[in-house]
A and B are shown apart, each in its own frame.
Chain A
Amino acid sequence: MSSQANETTQKDWSKAKSVLKVRDLRIHYDTPKGAVIAVAGISFNLYEGETLGLVGESGCGKSTTAYGILQLIQPPGHIVGGEIQLDDRNLMGLSEREFRRLRWTKLALIPQGAMNSLNPTMKVHQQIADVITTHEGRQPKEKMRKRILELFKTVGLPARIYDMYPHELSGGMKQRVCIAMGIALNPSVVIADESTSALDVVVQRVVAQTLLKVKEMLGVAMIMIGHDMGLMAQMVDRIAVMYAGKIVEIASVQSLFKEPMHPYSQVLIESIPSLKEKKPLKITEGITHDPRNPPPGCIFQLRCPFVMEKCKTQEPPLRELKPRQEVACHLYEVSETGEVKNVAASA
């Protein structure tokens, strides 16, 4: 599996075409005490056939980003600004009707908490059939049945669950149903929101493998959200590290694991449990800012071990410091010759 993952990451992404472009996406949740800034200006590209991991601690805005792209943000949340392009088509200007046609045929979701993501009063096959019928029109019963059973086979589901209700399935099976549903219409982009977190470790890995297999088979581009860094390392090509509604570092898996540059990425990588050494958890909990009222300057300043004066006033932009490794941190300076210098280390 890892050799497979390596192979795909060897591709030259700079030549690849981007299917999805997100620019300066901002999403707020209005609360009586002010707006919670859940996504504070996020930009990234998703390339054809690529898997992009989105990691970061709970509440940093991963799901909000995903749901923002899918235009599924429910009140009190709303998209404040930004641009989303799918195959060079701007999604933000589309009418509700136009966007509905695009759903699932182009953008599919494999949701978090697959436990409750299926309609309890509909049989499994009906829930896959309805999305096919909606976007492709009515089809002969036998043809539909064959197609759904084929999908089941792809994700490793037994044919006997065809007529079952969701409550008759195990957690892993429900997750597979969601995967089967997600790929039913061969979308260009699949967003998998922490699809593995509610399951036990073994099932989790097996389901993750299924997801990877399906992805490789279809060559679909995928955004994978989660906080299991170990699993991420095996599954994705690039990782975007999020903190408090911003991407602080985005890099290929190899670069990020070998040399994380943002102090928060460093903490994340170091916190991966290892058998060889026991290490204390480095992350300091609790000292986070109020999401309604972020401080000026860098969003990580309250928890950063290397915080400088500059960090408290100026917001660090996301810069490409190494090939395919973008970091938002004042700790690094690029000299005129293009050399990257760590300010703290040289001081």
Chain B
Amino acid sequence: MKGITLDYFIRRLGVFVLTVWIAATLIYIIPRVAPGDPIAAMVSRMSQQAGYIENSDKIIEGWRKRFGLDDPWYVQYGRYLRNLVTFDFGYSLATFPTTVREIVVRAMPWTIGLLSISTALFFVIGNLLGALLAWKKTPAFVKVLIPASMVFTSVPSLLAGLMLLYFFAFQLDWFPSLGAYGRGITPGWNWPFIKSAIWHSILPAASIVVVTFGYWTLGMRGMMITVEGEDYMTLAQAKGLRPFYTLYRYMIRNAILPQITALALTLGTLVGGQVLVEYIFSYQGMGNAIFTAIRNQDYPVIQGTSYILILTTALAVFIMDMLYPLIDPRISHEGS
């Protein structure tokens, strides 16, 4: 690929592997130092259902062995890493014998879909408005309307989600209040399902977009002003180029570059915000799966879903790093 040096590729790949490894290790350590015993929790859940369980000590011991919890830590850690590489996360404790992999495969498309849509929306809207805010030829009333549209910017997405839910789902009943698609609709490539999925995604996506795009508007406005002061803008004006052409080919084209870098950097935070939004909308994505798992102290699911989320995020960042030299011709030459 033109523009990417081998050195650049290896360095980015190194960052990717390191990020995933550190995250995986943290996911491994945190539940183990946290209070609470998963097996005991499981057995007590069973005993609640059955009233009383005989030989609960024996059962706990057997399960500990079965999950390898009595092995030395490095054996456990090694086995853990091997399982991550092979995407084998074992069984869910709460919904045994469902495998963690099944849970991930079911939830992941929803999360990726919702996240892609909302990211595309706030990035495009935010940057476009920012560009218009800085452009000299934008009508004055637009320049007043844009900041007014940014009122939700400092609100947490959780709160925005609750507000949207309250007004548009409960009060006005325009949108469904929970789930990723309507009950009784079979998922598949059929129109009722697709329509229902889009309909269900509007409020969750909106609650992410309305609180996020304002940051990108402000960032873009700043970048546009910086670009406006560059010598090549003076020359562009002296050349008598058409204003609209100058706007997109000279200004936006250059101002967007740091914005794309920033997007790669905030992708992790975005995923975090989405987890909460999914939870309040009972949207059956990864965020919801994680929440349910946390409530049930379902460690394999917590580990598996967190790991996959981090892996996907790191992968997205890696892909963006690989694509960036294609849009910024200077990057592979200047290094870093």
Expressed in whole angstroms, the minimum distance between the Cβ of B74 and any Cβ of chain A is 50
A121 touching B245, Cβ below 8 Å: no
Query: What 1/0 flags go to B206-234 for Cβ under 8 Å of A?
Result: 00000000000000000000000011101
User: A109-B238, A131-B239, A167-B329 given as contacts; is B245 within 8 A of A116 (CB)?
Assistant: no
Count A-B pairs with CB separation below 8 Å.
79
B240 touching A111, Cβ below 8 Å: no
B240 touching A118, Cβ below 8 Å: no
A117 touching B231, Cβ below 8 Å: yes
Number of interface residues of A (CB under 8 A): 34
Collect the chain A residues with CB atoms within 8 Å of residue B238's CB: 70, 72, 103-104, 107-109, 111
Q: Does any Cβ of A come within 8 Å of B241's Cβ?
A: yes
Q: Does any Cβ of B come within 8 Å of A113's Cβ?
A: yes
Q: Does any Cβ of B come within 8 Å of A57's Cβ?
A: no
Q: Give A119-144 interface residues, CB cut-off 8 Å to B.
A: 119-122, 130-131, 134-135
Collect the chain B residues with CB atoms within 8 Å of residue A74's CB: 234
Expressed in whole angstroms, the minimum distance between the Cβ of B245 and any Cβ of chain A is 7
Q: Does any Cβ of B come within 8 Å of A257's Cβ?
A: no
A121 touching B254, Cβ below 8 Å: yes
A103 touching B253, Cβ below 8 Å: no
Expressed in whole angstroms, the minimum distance between the Cβ of B79 and any Cβ of chain A is 49
Q: Does any Cβ of A come within 8 Å of B250's Cβ?
A: yes
A130 touching B235, Cβ below 8 Å: no
B235 touching A109, Cβ below 8 Å: yes
A131 touching B241, Cβ below 8 Å: yes
Please tell me which one of the listed residues B231, B253, B254 contacts residue A111 in the complex, with CB atoms under 8 A apart. B231
Please tell me which one of the listed residues B235, B241, B242, B333 contacts residue A117 in the complex, with CB atoms under 8 A apart. B235
Expressed in whole angstroms, the minimum distance between the Cβ of B88 and any Cβ of chain A is 45
Expressed in whole angstroms, the minimum distance between the Cβ of A135 and any Cβ of chain B is 7
Complex alpha-carbon distance, A109 and B238, angstroms: 7
Please tell me which one of the listed residues B231, B241, B327 contacts residue A130 in the complex, with CB atoms under 8 A apart. B241
Query: What 1/0 flags go to A297-316 for Cβ under 8 Å of B?
Result: 00000000000000000000
Number of interface residues of B (CB under 8 A): 24
Please tell me which one of the listed residues B236, B249, B330 contacts residue A120 in the complex, with CB atoms under 8 A apart. B330
The prevalent SS among residues of A at the interface is mixed
Expressed in whole angstroms, the minimum distance between the Cβ of B108 and any Cβ of chain A is 35
User: A111-B231, A113-B231 given as contacts; is B329 within 8 A of A103 (CB)?
Assistant: no
Q: Does any Cβ of B come within 8 Å of A13's Cβ?
A: no
Q: Does any Cβ of B come within 8 Å of A102's Cβ?
A: yes
User: A121-B328, A121-B329, A167-B333 given as contacts; is B242 within 8 A of A134 (CB)?
Assistant: yes
Expressed in whole angstroms, the minimum distance between the Cβ of A52 and any Cβ of chain B is 19
Q: Does any Cβ of B come within 8 Å of A332's Cβ?
A: no
A116 touching B232, Cβ below 8 Å: yes
Expressed in whole angstroms, the minimum distance between the Cβ of B253 and any Cβ of chain A is 5
User: A165-B329, A165-B330, A167-B330 given as contacts; is B240 within 8 A of A120 (CB)?
Assistant: no
A111 touching B234, Cβ below 8 Å: yes
Residues of A participating in the B interface, judged by any CB pair closer than 8 Å: 67, 70, 72, 74, 99-105, 107-109, 111-113, 115-122, 130-131, 134-135, 165, 167-168, 178, 181
Residues of B participating in the A interface, judged by any CB pair closer than 8 Å: 230-232, 234-242, 245, 249-250, 253-254, 257, 327-330, 333-334
Q: List 9 A-B contacts (CB under 8 A).
A: A100-B242, A104-B238, A111-B235, A116-B232, A117-B234, A130-B241, A131-B239, A131-B240, A134-B241
